[in-house]
Chain A
Amino acid sequence: MRWKKLGKIFDPVEHQIPNNCVEFSQAPQSLVLQDRVRIYYSTREKDASGKYLSHVAYVDFSRDMKDIIGTSQHTVIPLGKLGCFDEHGIFPFNVLKDGDRVLAYTTGCNRKSSVPVDAAIGLAISHDEGQTFSRIGLGGPIVAATLHEPFLVADAFVQRYGDTFYMWYIYGTKWLKFADSGQHERVYKIAQATSPDGLHWNRDGKHIIESKLDENECQALPTVIFHAGKYHMYFCYREAHGFRKESGRGYRLGYAYSLDLIHWVRDDANAGIDLSDEGWDSEMQCYPHLFECDGKIYLIYNGNEFGRRGFGLAVLEN
């Protein structure tokens, strides 16, 4: 894979964002519409206690991804109700066209007492081309913790191949305590589920991507595209602690491919993209998302500081 970096294309501080959000535009996710490419992201509000709430917003680009032609000035989806899995934030927000509807696979988070958060995956539906979304049911999740996936079920990315919906996602395997960190740190791995309808999912909990750092490698936000006879996956991975400040321990992009959607071969050496020598993605690259528009394959992702100052774009070279 060879990528040509097109640079940072959106900085949240240069725009008016609803819900009192001022920084962060994380985990960009695409919805290709007739006259535009809508990029959803998660941005942050500080609540009364000084902790963050993640809200969903979007920015519309021209189909050649060169111009910003609009930004959401309304609430795309409200946060979850009191006590619900997504009460303290939605991040990421993965969208999939389904006829006249747009499905959103949300990762909702809620704060806990012994560990900072838990998470699960929900489903919300839009009937207005993705401007607003409503949750299904009473607001519970569609993919939540189970016997062997005990917590932090998150980062859904859904695609349909043939009659089957595929979900790549992560789940937590342990909470660890390290000397250099005041709070418990999580470990999570990438898994895969299938569904006939996008609602009921079959999971086997297998870790489909081999760890490269050590057994506590954290793997996040898988994204998959079919191209030239192969399924290509990008994701981000990092060390389990020291990843916020120490260089070399933060998120980088990983790569894997599959011929059959069952077996995945990790092949970071052929990712074709790495940290820049300087600038917005020189210390960290994270939250990748692949999409195709007008014959081009794009990789949109966050850079330094987990996307505090926006996201950038790369295009696949032949």
Chain B
Amino acid sequence: MFHWKKLGRIFDPQCMASPAWMHEFAQSPATIITPHTVRVFFCTRPAPSADGKYQSHIAYLDLDRKNLLNVLNISAIPVLELGKVGTFDEHGTYPVSVISHQNEIRAYYAGISRCESVPFNATIGLAVSQDGGESFHRLGEGPVLPYTPDEPFLLGSPRIRRFEGQWQLWYVAGKEWRITENSKKEPIYKIRMATSTDGIQWNKVGRDLIPNKLGEHECQACPDVIYRDGKYHMFFSYRDIYNYTSREGGYRIGYASSPDMETWTRNDDLIDIPLSNEGWDSEMINYPHVFELDGSIYMLYQGNGMGRSGFGLAVLDKQSIWS
């Protein structure tokens, strides 16, 4: 079992008087550990446009490594500009995953562009920082992970890792857009994986990794993987295709483990992090990011409304069993 002890909310963008681009939402936290801080990258949004549409930008904040509840610093401007007109990421950069590599930080993110027949499409881009994450530049104007015959749209939720000298990308791929009873269009997407020797040219494994629990219309997201005690452990999010903004249908945290990153055994029952009775994470706990720091295992996660009022932290009980 993985018993998580909640340490509380770290950051709520709604409490900030400024800036305007950080009006609400702090989503998909992802960490870079430095000698004195933990830099947490996240995605945030300005107020929606008059017709209710959002943009999403990548930001960071620095946590005191000695006391992770202490926010030292918040980025003054987005670390990556949105894409140019007509490119895959012109309307948003969300979610984001980061990794240190040879004096650089690479950010793999889902770029959002709005469409006519469906609300949006997404695919995964790559941007690099040479100044510790203050600013990022794209490697190209297009995506690093292209659509392919079996992954026709909605490539998102990237999680970047390096294991055994190889680059690993977990992500989700859209399978189908469904029209719901109230004529809304809702996508179904599943967790997939790709491998690479350089993090740029990717070989897709080409199959869904995680068995469904809610049925074939289950939506899976945010496959965050950590290696521990001889196994790979994946903490991810899943939800029903319908009614997902409510407490009942919303994203929950799932768990799967694998000896080789290819075959995964799902066992959500091993996760013990209940919703709070009230407050910012009383309806949703999702988009987990699990990392090790100074001998402890932590989980950052977003709360109610898909992180509308920020993200928080939990620490793994030392009695938890990994194998």
Contact = CB atoms under 8 A, between A and B. Distances in A.
Interface of A: 81-85, 87-88, 110-115, 118, 120, 122-123, 135-142, 144-152, 172, 174-175, 184, 186
Contacts, number: 129
A147 B143 contact: yes
Contacts of A118: 86
The CB with the most chain B CB atoms within 10 A, among A81, A85, A112, A120, is that of A112
Contacts of A120: 147
B141 interface: yes
Contacts of B147: 85, 120, 140-141, 144-145
Nearest to B114: A113
Interface pairs A-B: 7 shortest CB-CB:
A137-B149, A147-B140, A140-B152, A150-B142, A113-B114, A111-B116, A175-B86
A110 B117 contact: yes
Contact of A111 (B84, B115, B149, B153): B115
Contacts of B114: 112-114
A145 B142 contact: yes
A150 B141 CA distance: 6
Given A82-B185, A84-B152, A88-B117, A112 B86 contact: yes
Contacts of A87: 117
Contact of B115 (A113, A146, A149): A113
A145 B88 contact: yes
Contacts of A88: 116-117
Contact of A147 (B118, B126, B148, B185): B126
B86 A115 contact: yes
A110 B85 CA distance: 16
Given A81-B177, A83-B177, 13 more contacts: A81-B176, A83-B118, A83-B121, A85-B153, A88-B116, A112-B86, A114-B85, A140-B148, A144-B146, A146-B146, A147-B142, A150-B140, A174-B84
8 contacts: A88-B116, A112-B113, A141-B148, A144-B147, A146-B140, A147-B142, A149-B142, A150-B143
A56 B191 CA distance: 35
Interface string B90-105: 1100000000000000
Interface of B: 84-88, 90-91, 113-118, 121, 123, 126, 139-144, 146-154, 174-177, 179, 185, 187, 200
Nearest to A111: B116
A42 to B, nearest CB: 19
Chain A interface helix/strand/loop/mixed: loop
Contacts of A122: 149
A145 B148 contact: no
Nearest to B178: A82
A150 B88 contact: yes
Contact of B87 (A82, A84, A113, A150): A150
Given A138-B149, A145-B146, A83 B86 contact: no
Nearest to A186: B86
A196 to B, nearest CB: 16
Contacts of A123: 149
Contacts of B113: 112-114
A206 B156 CA distance: 28
Contact of A151 (B87, B117, B118, B187): B87
Contacts of B200: 147
B98 to A, nearest CB: 18
A114 B87 CA distance: 10
A139 B147 CA distance: 10
A114 B90 contact: yes
Contacts of B179: 82
Nearest to A135: B149
